[in-house]
Amino acid sequence: MNTIRTLLAASILAMAGITPAFATGKPEVVLIHGAFADGSSWSKVIALLQQNGIEVTSVQNPLSSLGDDVAAARRAIAQADRDVVLVGHSWGGTVISEAGNDPRVKALVYVAAFAPDSGQASAELGKQYPTPPGIAKLVVGPGGYLHLPAAAVASDFAQDLPLAETALIAATQGPIRAANFAEKIGTAAWKTRPSWYVVAGQDRMIDPRLQRDMAKTIGAHATELATSHAPMLAQPEAVATVIADAVEQVAR
């Protein structure tokens, strides 16, 4: 199946004048979205990476448990034809910290994301920091799943985007099981993988100071952008550049 998919992708990309990743030796990119978003939150970054000949998969997380999301990431990694650079936004950082232990994963990229240590849960990371404004606006729905009202998406999740975009984010968001944030990872993959971190300097969902501290703790190549919690939508070129740098570094 992978061979058929590879040949089909090569044909499509050739018609578009794009050199596919498997022809250049570049690793593939697997994108993991966070809470209150879905795979389409990477749409702008996907287009930019593909234009640079990088093959990309955006995973749709069930957000029903850490284990379920890690399993979804592992399926995407297994489906890839080459080694993988694993990218996580927000809650997706916790997912890649676990799923990144797969031997095919050669680098990790955190985008305004949690980066827990071994045996640590996402909720433990922010205890020493003020509660971000957006967290106070979360709504608990049926089954203990959290979501952000449209007004909170506009004011605290993606306050630097036009209202038409924030309305789309609110409509397509994936509610997340609240208990996920208390689930601990096993061994943190960043201990054995080179890491990159995009800090969102105007984040109202994860304190920027916490992001800077996590980037330092994991020894990541850090880039700070003056964006909301959605840098991949507010400054997609900058985020794509960081991911492409990770791809190039591990391809050498």
Q: Cα dihedral angle (88, 90, 91, 95), rounded to 10 degrees?
A: 20
Domain count, the chain: 1
Is residue 91 pLDDT above 90, yes or no?
yes
Q: List, for residues 112-171, the tens digit of each pLDDT value.
A: 999 999 999 999 999 999 999 999 999 999 999 999 999 999 999 999 999 999 999 999
Q: Is the pLDDT of residue 236 over 90?
A: yes
Whole-structure pTM value: 0.90
- For the cut 80, the answer to whether the pLDDT of residue 7 exceeds it is no
Q: Would you say residue 9 lies in a domain?
A: no
Q: For residue range 29-39, what is the model confidence (pLDDT) as tens digits?
A: 999 999 999 99
**Residue 229 near residue 91 (C-beta atoms within 8 A):** no
The verdict on residue 67 lying in a domain is yes
Q: Is residue 17 part of a domain?
A: no
The secondary structure of 153-200, three-state, reads HHHHHCCCCCHHHHHHHHHHCCCEEHHHHHCECCCCHHHCCCEEEEEE
For position 10, what pLDDT does the model report?
Answer: 43
Q: Is residue 6 part of a domain?
A: no
Q: Which domain holds residue 51?
A: 26-251
Confidence of residue 25 (pLDDT cuts 50, 70, 90): confident
User: Which residue in this structure is represented by tokens 């994860």?
Assistant: 206
Distance CA 158, CA 227 (A): 8
CATH for 60:
3.40.50.1820
